[in-house]
Structure 1
Amino acid sequence: MGFRGSRGGSRGVPRGRGARGRRGGLMQGRGKPIFDSARMAQTEAKELPEPESESSEEEEIPREDESSDEETEDIPAIRPYAALVQSLAIESGPHTKRRKLDHSQQGGDIDPKRDVPDDAELGRVDAENADDVEEDEEGPGTATDGLLQDDEDLEDASDPFESHFAAPEADILSQRLKSLRNNQWSTKKMVLPIDGKVVLSIPEPVDSTASVTSSLISGPENLKLKHKLSGAFIKQQTSFDKLERSIAPFIFNYQDVLFCSRHPGNAESLRRLTCLHMVNHIFKTRDRVIKNNARLAKEVDNTELELRDQGFTRPKVLMILPTRESCVRMIKVITSLCEPEQQENVKRFEDTYVEKTVNLSEDKPEDFRELFAGNDDDMFRLGLKFTRKTIKYFSQFYNSDIIFASPLGLRMALEGKEDKKGDYDFLSSIEMVVVDQADALVMQRWEHVEFIFEHLNLQPREAHGCDFSRVRNWYLDNNAKYFRQIITLTAFNTTEINTLFLKESKNWTGKVKISPNYSGAIQGLGLKVKQTFSRLGAPSFDADPDSRFEYFTSAIIPTLTRRIKDTSGVVIFIPSYFDFPRIRNYFATSPNTSGLSFASISEYTPVRDVARARSHFLSGRHSILLYTERAHHFRRYRLQGVKKIIMYGLPDNPIFYKEMVEGYLGRSVQEGKLEPGQGSVRIIFSKWDLLKLERVAGSERVGKMIRDKGDTFDFL
């Protein structure tokens, strides 16, 4: 009887550090349940995107819905598609748009950080807003002429945007869609300048156009970019480095990418490349719609003109991020590429997302500082809208081009509130999903990520002002998930991330997984220590928790109880919280451990109890300390008095292995509490820990350790 449930799905819900977002009755991404209704109401009042006034529109695609991203109306039962179209036939024709003008700015430069007053966002016009005047909207022809002058807006058959979204080859597309439904893939290994394993999978049949991804891209001049974006990007860098040359072909050819070697050193390059691609996609989509609007306006009889250029709703890109600070970094890259003349609500964004003070010490590891520096709140969602010269923050979801959200923040919007049903129609036309720092999301609550993907690209339950005559056919045929691109960036691969990649990546142009070759965390520890890997025989993945617990109680516990007086300074590292209460209860109730004193630290342990446990462990009052992986992930405690480490399972993050073995045992040696070479580490693993074992033991050793007849492997 295991305590884990499904290990490939949801994990425990850690409490987290300094999280500011709170909601009642639902698990915080890194915290326990919060039921503070007053604080919930206060936070929601601050966070919710405000209703948007038509007067703030500048030059947009018609048919935008005016519903809020959270304050949605009750949604009736799903109606047949034909009835839906018939009932909405009268809702054609764009709304009149207005644009705000400040008298003090007319005829002069636009303040790039002008904030629209909240009352104006709510559409309330009173004496305080008397300066907001109505201006005639620029006509479709004018807008199109401007675009043609910018980059001529010519359709290029070699542009991946055309071949993937706008005009895919019908025969190839139909065959590949059939292969995707039957899960038929053609897989091959590739060689790139970067070190690692590259596996490219393409739905059958594989034609000659698929080989384009094997060619490198030397710089931005080789990409099919909007002229404005290309110029802004070249100002920042004129060529690509080795990583960018290797990964850019897959990203810009709209293939799904799982990149498993993200680290603080290459994070900025990956952000810049990903943001360039998604903004380029948004601009091309928008400009195509505006161009077709002009064509329809010029045609006297346009009943025979069929222009399929849209989805059901406006949002096209979803970015799933771990913290508000990660959202700030993405938006900084986007604004540097777009170079907008005006940013609406930017001060509100800076006040609620940007941390002005340094909240971490320099002695923390680099990966920890990258993740938790700045505003580390993991409960947020934000809409971003582009017009010709403006970026608007806090736009309603249905009026947004990009949605930034943490898994917890977006799930709360999808599930709704007690008095209102949830709404996920704004995710119906998502064409690009970016999951950055996926390894950090695993340490939050991965179930939220799975929930989000379950609600992507579903048929909408309401029309939301959609002009169905402009909707692309593959949306109407419920094939949007086969055109959606998923870009996942992670420091390392895990069972959860790999399962999501296999299950959700159904891109008709293919998918690629890029993984590094690992030398192993057991190498170069900086001290001599005996490391013993013990393999247990778990017949299946579901049986692994019970097999592991049985091995622990029958093989590990006797070594601790045999000489109780000599047992001290033992840290038992437990990767999963589902195993933690089982082991803690065993130490507390089993007669076999009655002579052992122990303390415990998990992600839920209050700060005062953590300090007491560490103090008693250091003094020897408690000989054993139970310590979870998430407690280390969120706190990075530097434990003292450690003489022996027992790993109930391997950590997901190989950095943790070095920090505990080299840091804890090495510190004991330096402080004279442990003789050099006397410390030891014992690790329990099974064949189901293949990904973890590769990172710790090394790519060259992992196969032998999994397949060899022996079940014990020693390293010094």
Structure 2
Amino acid sequence: MPSKPRGGARRGGPPRGRGGKPTGKSSRGRAPRFDNARLAEIDEVDDEESEEDEPSSEEASEDDASGSEDEEDQPNSRPYLALMQSLSKESGPQAKRRKLDHQSEEAQPSSRPEQEDISMVDEDNGGDIDHVEEPEEGPETEIVVDDDDDDDVPDSSDPFETHFVNPNQEELQKRLQGIQANEWPQSHTEQHGWRLIRNLPGKDTSGSAFPTPIPGPSSLQLKSRLAETINRKRPAFDKLEQVLYPLTFAYNDLLFCARTTKNAENLRRMACLHSVNHVFKTRDRVIKNNAKLAKQGDNGDFEPRDQGFTRPKVLMILPTRSAAVKMVNMICSLCEPEQQENRKRFDDSYVDKEVKFAADRPEDFRDLFEGNDDDMFRIGIKFTRKTIKYFSQFYNSDILIASPLGLRMAIGSEEGGGGDKKQKKMDFDFLSSIEVVVVDQADALLMQNWEHVEYIFEHLNLQPREAHDCDFSRVREWYLDRHAPHFRQTVVLSAFNTPELAELHRRFGRNWAGRVRVQPAAYAGAIEELGSTTGLVKARQTFSRFEASSAAAEPDARFEYFTSAVVPSLTKRGRNTAAGTLVFVPSYLDFVRVRNYFATAPALAGVTFGVVSEYTDLSAASRARSHFANCRHQILLYTERAHHFRRYAMRGVRRVIMYGLPDNPLFYREVVGGYLGRSEQDLKLEPGQGVVRVLFSKYDLLKLERVVGSKRVGKMIRERGDTFDFV
């Protein structure tokens, strides 16, 4: 099972809000914990992806021999012709020759650097399997004259053209003025049972029509090499895809709040198809313009604006290495490359085929943690005409795939290590030209250190500190005008909505095309699944509302209500009253507060209790669960993140007190229905004898709606009464 979380603790105290997720054994043998103190000593970690030092001549020649490009220069037996070609390089770019012999990965010579044994790579690069050494290229370097996509003429109806290349200037300026004035009028509609809430910048944009659903990929503007594949593999869309594809391919900022294990594959396909299509359109346009410039020489007046400051255009933020494997496999299934460079190295460091969990574990748990669950990784992916190269240097990559912790370690920290240690400078220039960001399984990232995600977004699309061989005459004007954040698209896929995701969507969703939130039109509620028809326990559930003057005062008001209205009911009838009480606490800070109260309050002097949090050792957690099941501990304090990472099967639960509602409605079903249902069998309790007490405030609106349903939530928030019973 996953071990302790890492990346979540802050120096001088417990994690603020949410911490990092626990991971299994790292494939590189790292220590099992990373936190912000480790970021302060980042100079000790020799794993910087975006190394900016110029390589030595030996390193450059060694990289050339590694075959990182899709073509290799053949030995020339005519020295005069070779001399003339070398001189011509000074006057203009040279067209590359396409490699004729595409060898398979297994047929590559073992002496090539990227085919070295993994242990050797670890030793040479400080134990970081994702670290690469290769010379940095300019943002766009390839020239291919014999382009086989000449029939793919730019279309004015193509969202790529209208959003990035040639937007309507009048409309663009109006939208940019709306962004500067923070004017985001809202409109909403329903399509195929999904609710769409859209914000467009500007005063007079609320009446703009929503994109209409499409039946299949034939309605999309795709590169021909992708259109053939997707039409063969997914000729028709389901109702959800019909709604999401037009929004995504129109470059709207998207927050989708209903990701499940059933629709995960379709969502992953959509994100990968859109990302690769964007990369191909960007690269093919640059390649064609390179050919035109080479053809006209110095006498022409063709001055294309088709580039950013650096090459990477797509960033995918994922929770685990196994999630990265699924993304990479999906990209390969869409591109169908003839060759994959460094694929064996990728499989060795990212793929884990060992079955870790039994089939009785929840499906979402196995989907997230099965395979390699390491949360410290980043990898660059580079596309050439018929090849995908993994582990390319960041500045030479088209797509970057990383975890929040891994990417933050690559960026660096402004905090020095102190003493005489050399501090490695921060580097975030490789994020300066990101145009599409995909955040998949955002609900899982919330259980890691969410500050890392915010830190990454704060360093997106900033003006680069160095040139990186950029041809500024070809940089798009909106990059130079510092409007890149307003052209970037952000796609966030989550199982549910939270205040953190809503704030990320609002704060960093500054796209001139607008932002859209998609969620179910109505929630039935998790309590509907607790009836006898589903085979789960039928318990008496009491929801108690407390008042808080503000969101900042809400934690104090919750604690005051808990100690004054809930705790006395556990002690007033004698020692055995509290036996079998599970106190579910979502926030770790609230957990520490409640734990200290149970340890020091005179009123609870005769009550025994145990604790299981995300930071509890496995042995201590096992001991606490055993004592609770045997009634040696009357009360067990249990955190939401501990349940997320370990999904313990608790026994002996007679009463559940939810200090706060969980973000994930599945947890309510598992804790209330699963634990009480198991107690009915073990303790031979009568159906309905179990008791559930839930504390909530008006600031828990999103959580409450997913648990009690959309029809009930309004009354429970607005009515005068503060107690609501369900059976």
Summarize deviations over 1:638-679 as a string: whole Å, max 9, x none.
100000000000000000001011111111111234232111
Q: CA deviation at 1:395?
A: 0.4
Superimposed CA distance per residue, residues 353-397 of structure 1 (whole angstroms, 9 cap, x where no aligned partner) = 001211111110011011011111111000000011110000010
TM-score (norm: length of structure 1): 0.85
Structure 2 equivalent of residue 550 of structure 1: 560
Judge conservation of contact 1:113–1:342 (CA < 8 Å) in 2.
no
Kindly indicate whether residue 144 of structure 2 is the aligned counterpart of residue 143 of structure 1. yes
1:522 aligns with 2:495: no
Distance 1:113 1:317, change over 3 A: farther
The one-letter amino acid of 2:351's match is V
**In 2 relative to 1, CA 421–97 (structure 1 residues): closer, same or farther, beyond 3 Å?**
farther
| Gap change, CA 1:504 and 1:666, over 3 Å in 2 | same
1:489 aligns with 2:493: yes
SS of 1:509 mapped into structure 2: coil
1:379-417 CA-to-partner distances (Å, cap 9, x unmatched) read: 100000001111000001000000000000001111158
Match of 1:387 in 2: 384
Match of 2:129 in 1: none
Could you report, residue by residue, the CA deviation over 1:470-504 in whole angstroms, capped at 9, with x for unpaired residues? 00000000000000000000000011111100111
Structure 1 position 560 matched with structure 2 position 586: no
State the match for 1:188 in structure 2.
187
> What letter matches 1:184 in structure 2?
E
Residues 234-261 of structure 1: CA distance to partner in whole angstroms, max 9, x if unpaired? 2212111111111110001111111101
User: Which of 612, 621, 633 is matched with 2:632 structurally?
Assistant: 621
Aligned-residue offset at 1:33: 7.3
Return the TM-score normalized by structure 2: 0.84
Question: 8 Å contact 1:413–1:423 — kept in the other structure?
Answer: yes
Cα deviation, residue 432, structure 1: 0.2
Q: Deviations over 1:600-649 (max 9, x none)?
A: 00000001101110111111111000000000000000100000000000
2:586 equivalent in structure 1 = 575
SS in 2 for 1:545: helix
Of residues 542, 545, 549, the one that matches 1:535 is 545
1:111 aligns with 2:104: yes
- Structure 1 counterpart of 2:19: 13
Q: Give the structure 1 partner of residue 470 of structure 2.
A: 466
Matched, 1:638 2:649: yes
Residue aligned with 1:155, SS? coil
Q: Does structure 1 conserve the Cα–Cα contact (< 8 Å) formed by 2:259 and 2:494?
A: yes
CA contact (8 A) 1:325 1:353 kept: yes
- The 1:45/1:501 distance shift into structure 2, 3 A limit, reads closer
- C-alpha spacing 1:693/1:471, structure 2 compared with 1 (3 Å): same
Pick from 326, 333, 336 the counterpart of residue 336 of structure 1: 333
Match among 457, 476, 480 for residue 484 of structure 2? 480
Q: Give the distance between the partners of 1:359 and 1:495, measured in 2 at CA.
A: 33
Which structure 2 segments of 5+ residues have no match? 1-8, 72-88, 117-139, 418-422, 531-535
Q: Is the 8 A contact 1:569 1:617 kept in 2?
A: yes
Counterpart of 1:607 (choices 613, 618, 628) is 618
Contact 1:482–1:508, Cα closer than 8 Å, also in 2: yes
List runs of 5+ in structure 1 lacking aligned partners.
61-90, 102-106, 124-138
The answer as to 2:347 corresponding to 1:358 is no
Mapping of residues 134-213 of structure 1, within 5 Å: 143-149=144-150, 152-193=151-192, 195-204=193-202, 211=209, 213=210
**Coordinate RMSD, CA, aligned:** 3.2
Q: Supply the AA of the counterpart residue of 1:28.
A: F
Which range moved further: 626-635 or 586-595? 586-595
Q: Distance in 2 between matches of 1:670 and 1:218?
A: 49
Q: Equivalent residue of 1:527, what SS?
A: coil
How much does 1:19 deviate?
4.8
Amino acid at match of 1:448: H
1:240-389 aligned at under 5 Å gives the runs: 240-302=237-299, 304-389=301-386
Q: 1:98 to 1:332 in 2, by over 3 A?
A: same
After superposition, the C-alpha distances for 1:149-184 in whole angstroms (9 at most, x for unaligned) are: 5xx131110100100000001111011101011111
How far off its partner does 1:97 sit? 8.8
Q: Deviations over 1:430-469 (max 9, x none)?
A: 0000000000000111111000000000000000010000
Q: One-letter code of the match for 1:632?
A: H
Alignment of 1:639-678 (within 5 A): 639-678=650-689
Give the Cα separation in 2 of the matches to 1:92 and 1:220.
Answer: 45
Q: Secondary structure at the match of 1:439?
A: helix
Find the residue that maps to 1:245 and give its secondary structure.
helix
Is the partner of 1:203 in helix, strand or coil?
coil
Whether the 8 Å CA contact 1:165–1:483 is kept in 2: the answer is yes
Aligned mates of 1:456, 1:140 — CA distance in 2? 23
Letter of the 1:374 partner, please give it: G
| Structure 1 residue matching 2:163: 3-state secondary structure | helix
Residue identity matched to 2:186: T
Deviation at 1:147, TM superposition (A): 3.1
What's the CA shift for 1:13?
2.1
Q: Distance in 2 between matches of 1:98 and 1:120?
A: 23
Deviations 1:177-229 (A, max 9, x none): 01011111232111211x23211222226579953x43111111111100011
Mapping for residues 31-46 of structure 1, pairs under 5 Å:
44=47
| CA distance in 2: counterparts of 1:248 and 1:380, whole angstroms | 29
Quote the Cα distance in structure 2 between the aligned partners of 1:364 and 1:454: 37
**Count of residues in Structure 1 that have an aligned counterpart in Structure 2:** 653
Contact 2:655 2:692 in 1 (8 A): yes
CA distance in 2, matches of 1:146, 1:312: 24
Distance in 1, matches of 2:612 and 2:395, equals 44
What corresponds to 2:690 in structure 1? 679
Deviations 1:239-288 (A, max 9, x none): 11111111110001111111101000000001111111110000000010
Shift of 1:26: 11
Following the alignment from structure 1 to structure 2, what is the Cα–Cα distance between the partners of residues 579 and 92?
66
Whole-angstrom CA distance in 2 between matches of 1:557 and 1:209: 52
Residues 532 and 681, structure 1, Cα contact 8 Å, conserved in 2: yes
Q: In 2, Cα distance between the equivalents of 1:17 and 1:639?
A: 22
User: CA distance change for structure 1 residues 343 and 15 in 2, over 3 Å: closer, same or farther?
Assistant: closer
Q: Aligned to 2:583, what secondary structure does the other structure show?
A: strand
The alpha-carbon deviation at position 148 of structure 1 amounts to 3.4
- Matching of residue 229 in structure 1 with residue 226 in structure 2: yes
| 2:27 is the alignment partner of 1:28 | no
Distance 1:323 1:710, change over 3 A: same
How much identity, in percent, do the aligned residues show? 54
1:707/1:635 Cα in 2 relative to 1: closer, same or farther (>3 Å)?
same
CA separation of 1:222/1:196 partners in 2, compared to 1, >3 Å: closer, same or farther? closer
| Contact residue 54 and residue 98 of structure 1 kept, 8 A | no
Aligned equivalents of 1:99 and 1:448: distance in 2?
A: 42
- Paired letter, 2:558: R
Distance in 1 (alpha carbons) for counterparts of 2:695 and 2:527: 15
Separation in 1, partners of 2:462, 2:97? 33
State the one-letter code of the partner of 1:444. Q
Query: Residue in 2 aligned with 1:411?
Result: 408
CA displacement 1:553-608 (0-9 Å, x = unmatched): 11111111112233200000000001111111111111111011000000000011
Distance 2:578 2:205 in 1: 65
